[in-house]
Structure 1
Amino acid sequence: MSANTAFGVYVHWPFCAAKCPYCDFNSHVHHGAFDEESFVKAYVKEIEATARRAPGRLVESIFFGGGTPSLMNPKSAAAILDAIARNWQVADNAEVTLEANPTSVEAERFRGYREAGVNRVSLGVQSLRPEPLAKLGRLHSVDDAVAAVRLAQSIFDRSSFDIIYARPDQTLEAWDDELTDALALSDGHLSLYQLTIESGTRYFDLFHAGKLKMPSEDLSADMFELTQERTAAYGLPAYEISNHARPGQESRHNLVYWRYGEYAGIGPGAHGRLLIGGVRHATAAEKMPFKWWEKVMETGDGLVADDNLTWDEEGDEYLVMGLRLREGIDPGRYQALARRPLTQVQISHLMDIGFIETLPNGRLRVTEKGWPVLDAVVADLAA
């Protein structure tokens, strides 16, 4: 699946019980009555409209992201999955992932999601320590998280959970201790993200007001290096800069993105990449949930952007996504997308300083030394 033949469907559920202070995703806290059944009808309509534009695809992965999809009634998930199956062919072994928060109420829904067709769950644990959980704005306890992870592992074929590190006031020793606990709890896949300060978040305001002390660049680099060492030794090596898995347990849906495949974006704020008539379209939907609903019910889809990508843009996107992977990129595919080869002078320079390397199969990848400065490596290669 290293070529661009894979097709996935991303379904965005935008609602959350609370807005976390570090989160810049398209998520919304909704108060009051909510007609979920009517909302789901809009998903069905948008799936139908998207399938008319991109017919005949074989769906290899479906991903319910958010927001908090585990706030969704399992019957809603089933209705959306049924609509996908009616409009495209779904592979017998398709990966169907749902993001979930590990509160006790949502964990009780797991069996309902499994019956609906979900076979993989990704849990937003974020920390296995009480104080950081509270500071991150999470509504669950450590005990809730552990119980939800173990329940997910008992119900679903595959599961994963997220942990955020390089948090305010976190020490290397504290991260080593927490990472050890996370590895012991994991089962096949683990996502480990360094905290970043994003514009428009509460953390952004606190940081720029001097009220949030982040780890230094050197400490963050030490945490990253420690993470690579510990996960590899445990049998969960990094296959992507922030994702770790036993061989065969990688997130197939995320690999669609990172290998620059084709995917439909369904729901408020969802983005897609569709090949239509040989041209790659970058799509985006209305972000505000009820404006999106009104638009879909009126016109059939919620699109607010549908841009034809240039050759240079395709090449740049392939670099940005593919160089995150341990398997690297195919220079021949880059040339086919961008209609020009990578610059040998830049490749040689980055090799000389140890930031990239060529594999025996001819692929080009970023080294472990280069991963902490990935953005700069991508910029150099794209120049």
Structure 2
Amino acid sequence: MATVTLEQFNPANFEPIPLPDHLPTYELPRVSISKLMGKDEAETKTVVDICARTGFFLLNLMDHPLGRNLWESACKLRNLGQHIMATLPEEDKKLFLQREERGVLDRGYTSSARDGQGVAKFVESINIPRDELFAKPTPGWELPSWLKPHEDLFKNIQTEAHKVELVILAALEQQLELKPGTFTDTHQLEAPTHSFLRVLRYPPTGDGNGMRERPRVFAHRDVVSISMLFTWVSGLQIPRDDAVYLNSDTPTEDSWLWVRPEAGHMIVNLGDTMPIFTNGALKSGLHRVVTAHGDQANLDRVSVLFTGRPNWGVPMAPLVSSKIPAQSAEEAARPADSCKVWGDNVIKGYYKDNVKWNKAEVSV
């Protein structure tokens, strides 16, 4: 494959595709990265209030250079990932191997439900691990030849995303009255975490082929601390605030609302570590991905996702603060798994749940 060169950035090329007006939407609250970096009391309180309800918000990146750089990098990466996945033969992509350890999804090429021609039909992804790029290198490991020329981009964008991750974690520390560093020191760029950069592609489906009848990625919560998503075409859905649930992960179908992509913003949601660290005070955001609506079903939908997880050795147990509900004596006496053991076991659990696993690929 010839090396793909990155085009000069032009913001006019990255305006999200508008959703049709008649679709029910969830208007995510907006937060300013500049205010968070300035430790603005009202803005940090807003973040915690949001995360105590849904765990989802839009982060405006355009009012600070760090955010603008991250937005530009994500747009470049979208084009790069789209070109590679749409043009590189399936057999070449599959040579970018996942880890041998089943259930760890931070590295390699993945795809689900192909059409008979070896082309990904529902979703495919390229997963760039943070561990190999920043933590102690794995001997003999390197990116495949078709990704290697872009290693600097992958490093730069993950460094930028990690800085934003730390800004959000610092805001949570501040409002939860935790000692500075409680979160930020346990989510390190150069420590093994199984955090990753993921470029996802949802190929065009057109109408009348049954895709409307099933989500591309079923309802789930992310096994991380923070997820940060860039997307330009609709497909992400989250439940309405007054959703009716059949069980903890299954709202009724009419409870799902569309999330509008916004230029210059990324969609942030908390994952499953935060309810553990805060004993339920903060929420992990439930979401799913469905086929884009109407004419958008004919578009090649590409998203860019970053995740932040705690360092492997961090114990998965509630922290102590006046803002965090106290554990019972019985709960406090139970030994806590390390983050690595906990995270690996949770994701492996998806493999054992044949109903979910056979329907669609697990997200994170």
TM-score range, shorter chain: under 0.3
TM-score, scaled relative to structure 1: 0.25
TM-score, scaled relative to structure 2: 0.26
Task: Specify the structure having the higher radius of gyration (Cα).
Answer: 1
Structure with the greater relative contact order (CA < 8 A, sep ≥ 6): 1 or 2?
2
